[in-house]
Amino acid sequence: MKWQALFFALVTAAFCLGPGTAAPEQSLREAAWSSGILIGAAVRPAQLSEAAYASTLAREFNMVEPEDALKWEVVHPEPQTFDFSQADQVVDFASRHGMKVRGHTLVWHRQNPKWLTEGKFTSRELAEILETHIKTVVTHYRGKIFAWDVVNEASDEVHAGQLRSTIWRDQPGIALDTGRELRASNRDANEKARSGPEARSAQRDYAYIEQSFRWAHEADPQALLFYNEGADTEMVNAKSDAIYAMVRDFRQRGVPIDGVGLQMHISNLHADVASISTNIKRFTALGVQVHFTEMDVSLAVDANGNASPEDLQRQAEIYRQIAAVCLANHGCAAIQTWGFTDKYSWIGSHSKHTRGAALLFDQNYRAKPAYWALRNELEAGRR
């Protein structure tokens, strides 16, 4: 029996490694390569020691992004302490497997350490802290992280078109190089972008974002710098209008911005592909690229985390549509999912485990219909 098993293993290996690899041994990453798109996944460093996690990741993806390991609370736990150990594991893994790394994120209002949020710093102190943070982290990964989400989710979720009130913007906000302090303002950013004095006022509102991009660019002039946003800004609406106005203004004034990240967390089994496509077109017309940065399609699940077969098929169709819309727009350069196995996904813990099954592989690393839909689309849609 033993020699038969050995013979079978050898034949299988030869088949897998041989030229013109047959379809089942192909991977998402090969399909993505032939269509000229990066295919990425958000990664948890602690899981890299799990064989199935590591082998699936390396086989199927050509880009990774630490899911939480580069957020302030992890990377900058004390005022004078930077801890790169977790993110370094992801970067090392990527370099061993020929993968690119996206960095997430330098400026956000969430997952910040208490020393920062409760520190009662003045604007000037806060500006120094932010500059040091951005420059230290970006410099550490210079030449290793090719693209950064410099600022994440700055838009107000309730008041479309306005900026969110955060420690960086107005609580107390960072002091600017010009000496101006950022002020809280509730006026519509679009309106402000239209006329002279109002345009200047809009620039002041967005100044902390502008300054963050400038600091990141100083630390690594080669890195691509992204503004990343979710919550419906994937489509054309008042929120994405405001981001569009900001990016246009930045490009006109030479602020170093290279891309817009559209998160693509989909929770209603519907994707307005026409609107997403129009949105991508207008951003790329400004000369920036678009990455889909955090895609998942969450489903209602039972107590074991399982979704219905019908929903899994509908989910597959959404992954297919999103791949198609990216392939159809040349400036859309990457599709990244927020995790890759349903075993580890933020959806469960963030929905009291009523939702889940959002990713391409099931809890046992088996490819789901969504995987095949995405892969077939990438294979068919060479560009």
Q: How far is the CB of 111 from ligand XIL (least distance, A)?
A: 6
Angle 109-110-111 from CA coordinates, rounded to 5°: 135
Q: Of the two residues 106 and 378, which places its CB atom closer to ligand XIL in the complex?
A: 106
Inter-residue contact 50 to 112 (CB < 8 Å) = no
Please, what is the minimum distance in Å from the beta carbon of residue 222 to ligand XIL? 24
Q: Say if CB 319 and CB 262 are below 8 A apart.
A: no
Q: Nearest approach, Cβ of 112 to ligand XIL (angstroms)?
A: 12
Classify residue 235 by burial, with Cβ atoms within 10 Å: 0-12, 13-18, 19+.
middle
Contact 65, 336 (CB under 8 A): yes
* Nearest CB to ligand XIL, comparing residues 299 and 373: 299
Q: Single out the residue of 55, 66, 100, 54 nearest to residue 294, CA to CA.
A: 66
CB atoms within 10 A of CB 282: 14
Q: Which is nearer to ligand XIL, 188 or 229 (CB)?
A: 229
Q: Side chain identity at 177, as an amino acid letter?
A: D
Catalytic residue (one of 30, 131, 153, 210): 153
Residue nearest ligand XIL, CB atom distance: 346
**Site residues for ligand XIL per CB under 6 A:** 67-68, 152-153, 230, 263, 294, 346
Q: Which of residues 265 and 320 has its CB atom nearest to ligand XIL in the complex? A: 265
Which residue from 87, 85, 80 is spatially nearest to 106, judged by alpha carbons? 87
E strands of the chain, at which residues?
A: 38-43, 63-66, 100-107, 147-152, 224-229, 259-262, 265-266, 289-297, 299-300, 332-337, 355-356
CB of 11 to ligand XIL, least distance (A): 42
Min. distance of Cβ 184 from ligand XIL in angstroms? 23
**At closest approach, how far in Å is the CB of 381 from ligand XIL?**
27
- Give one word for 78, left, alpha or beta, with left for phi > 0 and alpha for psi -120 to 50: beta
The owner of tokens 């630490």 is 66
Please say which residue, 230 or 256, places its beta carbon nearer to ligand XIL: 230
**Overall size of the chain counted in residues:** 383
Residue placing its CB nearer to ligand XIL in the complex, 95 or 111: 111
**Cβ distance 264 to 293 under 8 Å?**
yes
Contact 345, 338 (CB under 8 A): yes
Q: What is the DSSP string of 106-131?
A: EE-SSS--HHHHTS---HHHHHHHHH
- Residue bearing tokens 């350490």: 113
Asked if residue 153 lies in contact with residue 161, where contact means CB atoms within 8 angstroms, the answer is: no
What CA–CA distance (Å, rounded) separates 104 from 108?
10
Shortest separation between residue 350's beta carbon and ligand XIL, angstroms: 7
Q: Is 60 annotated as catalytic?
A: no
**Active-site residue flag, 78:** no
Of the listed 30, 210, 294, 377, which one is catalytic? 294
What positions carry a catalytic annotation? 153, 294
